[in-house]
Structure 1
């Protein structure tokens, strides 16, 4: 029987020790509100399976913000993605990071729980929906996990939480499709090829070799039209600490500024939140019954595009997103987006960061953003 969801050559991921201790993993589970009492002495008994991997991702992107405030409100204007700093920033301080930090942190934490996983890298697409992609260099981090004991079946994971982020694992196969934040959003994996690639599947072939993957997000609107875009491309190769450190320096130092100035010119912050029961009822009213299943186990929600039946759990509760950009905070739920707050000064912005994202920036640190392209007025009425 032909199996799907495999790395090339059916490679296995080895068990690799985590850089975080059992004690730190226990504190992380407590911070993200994983159910139960998982003290350090119980971590080795954690059920490191697919269902828990899904729950951990969802709890992580609700607990921590995708953000780059350290680039703007510190004297060093950098983003430290070392494991000790990430633990302090996320678990102790309740702040966040961006993809390099969030996925580095998540990788080490799930390794501490017994998962077999490694990290890869991707090229972000800066083009809009339904248009030809414009890929950056390798400035995104992704994860590959084999969560089934005794199996090389692989799932693709991105626990960074930014933008239209993945909200669950997706089986690593061409055409795999998973539900996003709500049924108005879907993510699909496609194995593809760059048209400008020098690689071909055969000596006389005019086709490019399909050696890279695309993560595609599709959004449905209120009028039932849809739009799709490639979020990023990636390859299966394993990337390591030095790879991410070099790319990270390029981002926060401005080396990539001529190609992509999103982080350098802006304070960016996004965070998922659980929909209320009332919001759930509104979204469920838009969902056709044909895709719903009575349980997560009846259909493969990690590859076949099924919607798990709402049972009140975090596994089936839909998500919304808060997004802060420039001088505006927006709330996104399903097909609806609304402006929650606008702000004109740095004092007002750090107030929004504190109230909606749990990021506490002392007023004295406003001086560090002064003169930068991202700066708002430093004082005065809102």
Structure 2
């Protein structure tokens, strides 16, 4: 699910906002235009996002599909004229969806996709006070670890051995106020720590 935002009065300039995708997803609004004109920085100067619109596959209709793409630049590429490749993150259309559509789609994805059915995932974006450019970095809970990814480097912040460890990390690292009793909702399920 993405949200279209038109922040200026008397102006139809539209931006895409997607705060829930995670991983290498958007952290800033991106203009709803195709190609290089849409390019925005991700969490730091080594990550970029853009939108590319293309015809909807196998359709004779004129409508298109938007693709959100990400590009990560290594240190060697920053100093040279090497262009890293763009990777498609997801696609979306401009058709409006309603509450019932979102509930059904969410249930289908979370029940059928192993990433969501077999894991507790949490991602937090943090302002990097050590950066001169006020860059962001990601803190990610996945599996039995909480990791910080900053400037292409990964640091393990916590190793989780029990469901109570996971609940404690959600509180202390991610700022999510959950009670210890919440561990029972994961215990015995597919996402339980092994």
Task: Give the TM-score normalised by structure 1.
Answer: 0.46
Matched, 1:198 2:59: yes
Tell me the secondary structure at the aligned position of residue 272 of structure 1: strand
CA distance in 2, matches of 1:270, 1:248: 18
Aligned residue among 131, 138, 144 for 1:280? 131
Q: Residue 234 of structure 1 is aligned with which of 64, 72, 92?
A: 92
1:162 is matched with 22
List runs of 5+ in structure 2 lacking aligned partners: none
Q: CA offset at residue 363 of structure 1? A: 2.4
Distance 1:373 1:222 in 2: 39
Instruction: Measure, in 2, the Cα distance between the counterparts of 1:345 and 1:247.
Output: 31
Describe the SS at the equivalent of 2:131: helix
- Does the residue aligned with 2:173 lie in a helix, a strand or coil? helix
Instruction: Specify the alignment match of 1:219 in structure 2.
Output: 72
User: 2:158 matched to which residue of 1?
Assistant: 341
Q: TM-score, normalised by structure 2?
A: 0.87
Taking structure 1 as reference, are residues 170 and 364 closer, same or farther at Cα in structure 2, changes over 3 Å only? Answer: closer
1:374 to 182, 191, 194: 191
1:52-92 Cα offsets, whole Å, 9 max, x none, are xxxxxxxxxxxxxxxxxxxxxxxxxxxxxxxxxxxxxxxxx
Aligned residue in 2 for 1:148:
8
Task: Select the structure with the greater relative contact order (CA < 8 A; seq sep ≥ 6).
Answer: 1
Partner of 1:83: none
Rg: which structure is higher? 1
Contact 1:191 1:210 in 2 (8 A): no
Q: CA RMSD in A?
A: 2.0
Residues in 2 aligned to 1:151 and 1:368: alpha-carbon distance in whole angstroms:
46
Please tell me whether residue 186 in structure 1 is matched to residue 3 in structure 2.
no
Partner of 2:181: 364
- The count of residues paired between Structure 1 and Structure 2 equals 187
- Structure 1 residue 367: Cα displacement: 2.3
Could you tell me how far 1:275 is from its partner in structure 2?
A: 0.5
Name the one with the larger helix percent.
Answer: 1
Name the structure where strand makes up a greater proportion of residues.
2
- Structure 2 Cα separation of the partners of residues 366 and 250 of structure 1: 24
CA distance in 1, matches of 2:136, 2:179: 30
Aligned equivalent of 2:31: 171
Distance in 2 (CA, whole Å) between partners of 1:171 and 1:177 is 8
